[in-house]
Amino acid sequence: MSGAFAFSYGPRLISGAGSADRIADLLPAGPVLFVTDRQIVSLGLAESALAALRASGREVTVASEVEADPSRATLEAVVALGCESGAGSVVGFGGGSPMDVAKLAAYLLGSGDDLDAIWGVGNARAKGLPLVLVPTTAGTGSEATPVSIITLPGDEKRGVSSQALIAGHAVLDPALTLGLPRHVTAATGMDAMVHAIEAYTSIHLKNPLSDLLAREALRLLAANLLLACEEPGNVAAREAMLLGAHLAGVAFSNAPVAGVHALAYPLGGRFHVPHGLSNVLMLPHVLAFNMSAAMPLYAELGPLVDPALEGLGQQAQAQGLLEALRTMAARAGMPARLSAVGVSSADLDQLAADAMLQERLLKNNPRTITQSDARQLYEAAL
């Protein structure tokens, strides 16, 4: 590849078991808004980090009502809580949803901007509050990205994408992921693999550095996903998964995701299917659809997921990637059909129409997806 490109490295990174207890060192003095969700609180995952923050003398306000596919109302409630508490910095602690809310809350609190003025790409240009993000799943890569996705009334997902949303620090603490249930480990891990694959094949802004990170992310994730599922207490596997998810996040921050995500979002919005699982359900079908346009790139990725593909012909490597991903999802115990998550043939027209709203993602796909194509892809996945 040659030619001009731009690349942003994302937040400063701190990795290692116990690193979440040191987030006070990364924040300015003063009140902290700590954004998380009820499950994180009930599992006790945040206790140690919260205790360390309070021991540093800071007043900490906890916003723990963030739901999956967070709503505009939730975001606005968190911003109001930050205003009331006089927060001078924000911590996002959890999966993609708390981190997405924390990113936008930190920006809106610091900038005073109106949310409706910043939807889309590059419209948030002011400065937010200092922000530290701590993922508790190895999947979304949200701690690395400049993107926040909010669900609006009517189940439409809308995003803000801007360098102003990038956190000052990301903290990767594998100890926080040791208790993850198998299905969450599998879904979030494969979500990260989709990030790497789509970044590598994106037709917009793909570049040598995003390629480098996407390949290393996919290698780390593929080698450790089933190990993390089978041995949930394996710290080395969990650490590799977190790093892989983060690298994939940096990759797709620069070379954006595409068709798999565009077709996955309506499943989250309409049926509240977890984001990672939505991606897994659509992945083999969109890859098969893209094969005519992206075969050489899929062939390059094949051996990273299944080393037995090394040395085979291009078509065998590309097809092998698709089959290896199907096999991995099945071995991890994930459903393979949309019918398993409540989708019926009566829903396909609406899903296809919803997918067409994801223009920001569809334009990055190696092959154009029409509304008719989208319906056929959902039908194939049914």
Which of the listed residues 128, 145, 176 is the one where a domain comes to its end?
Answer: 176
Helix (H) or strand (E) holding 150, with range, is: strand 147-152
Distance CA 93, CA 133 (A): 6
Distances (CA, A) of 329 to 100, 187, 238: 26, 8, 18
Residues 279, 164 share a domain: no
* Structure tokens that stand for 273 in this block: 């299917």
Residues 129, 199 share a domain: no
Residues 299, 274 share a domain: yes
User: Is position 82 within any domain?
Assistant: yes
**CATH number, domain at 265?**
1.20.1090.10
DSSP states of 367-380: S---HHHHHHHHHH
For the question of whether the overall pTM of this predicted structure is more than 0.75, the answer is yes
Residues 221, 350 share a domain: yes
Which residues, 6+ apart, have CB-to-CB distance to 138 below 8 Å?
Answer: 177, 185, 188, 189, 192, 221, 228, 238, 241, 242, 244, 245
Handedness of CA 317, 322, 325, 327 (dihedral sign): negative
User: Is position 3 within any domain?
Assistant: no
Residue 269: what pLDDT? 83
Write the pLDDT tens digit of every residue in 213-239: 999 999 999 999 999 999 999 999 999
Residues 231, 108 share a domain: no
Write the pLDDT tens digit of every residue in 6-62: 999 999 999 999 999 999 999 999 999 999 999 999 999 999 999 999 999 999 999
**CATH number, domain at 126?**
3.40.50.1970
Of 80, 77, 78, 158, the closest CA to residue 116 belongs to 158
> What is residue 307's DSSP assignment?
G
Distance CA 14, CA 22 (A): 10
User: Is position 355 within any domain?
Assistant: yes
Distance CA 29, CA 56 (A): 9
User: Is position 4 within any domain?
Assistant: no
Residues 102, 233 share a domain: no
Residue 2: what pLDDT? 54
- Helix, strand or coil for residue 33? strand
Q: Which residue segment(s) compose the domain that 277 sits in?
A: 181-381
Which of the listed residues 176, 195, 224 is the one where a domain comes to its end?
Answer: 176
Which residues, 6+ apart, have CB-to-CB distance to 99 below 8 Å?
Answer: 35, 92, 133, 135, 140, 142, 143
User: Is position 6 within any domain?
Assistant: no
Of 50, 132, 32, the closest CA to residue 87 belongs to 32
Residues 214, 195 share a domain: yes
Residues 161, 206 share a domain: no
Of 85, 127, 86, the closest CA to residue 108 belongs to 127
Which of the listed residues 161, 176, 191 is the one where a domain comes to its end?
Answer: 176
Per-residue pLDDT of the chain (382 residues; tens, 9 = 90+): 458 999 999 999 999 999 999 999 999 999 999 999 999 999 999 999 999 999 999 999 999 999 988 999 999 999 999 999 999 999 999 999 999 999 999 999 999 999 999 999 899 999 999 999 999 999 889 999 999 999 998 878 899 999 999 999 999 999 999 988 899 999 999 999 999 999 999 999 999 999 999 999 999 999 999 999 999 999 999 999 999 999 999 999 999 999 999 999 999 888 989 889 999 999 999 999 999 999 999 999 999 999 999 999 999 999 999 999 999 999 999 999 999 999 999 999 999 999 999 998 999 999 999 999 999 999 999 9
Residue 362: what pLDDT? 97
Residue 1: what pLDDT? 46
Helices 275-305, 182-201: inter-axial angle, 10-degree rounding: 60
* Structure tokens that stand for 14 in this block: 């701190």
* Structure tokens that stand for 35 in this block: 């954004």
User: Is position 1 within any domain?
Assistant: no
Distance CA 132, CA 15 (A): 13
* Structure tokens that stand for 27 in this block: 């924040």
Residues 168, 28 share a domain: yes
User: Is position 51 within any domain?
Assistant: yes
Q: How many domains does the chain have?
A: 2
Residues 372, 225 share a domain: yes
Residues 221, 169 share a domain: no
User: Is position 109 within any domain?
Assistant: yes
Note whether 321 and 301 are within 8 A (CB). Answer: yes
What is the number of other CB atoms lying within 10 angstroms of the CB of residue 208?
12
Residues 353, 217 share a domain: yes
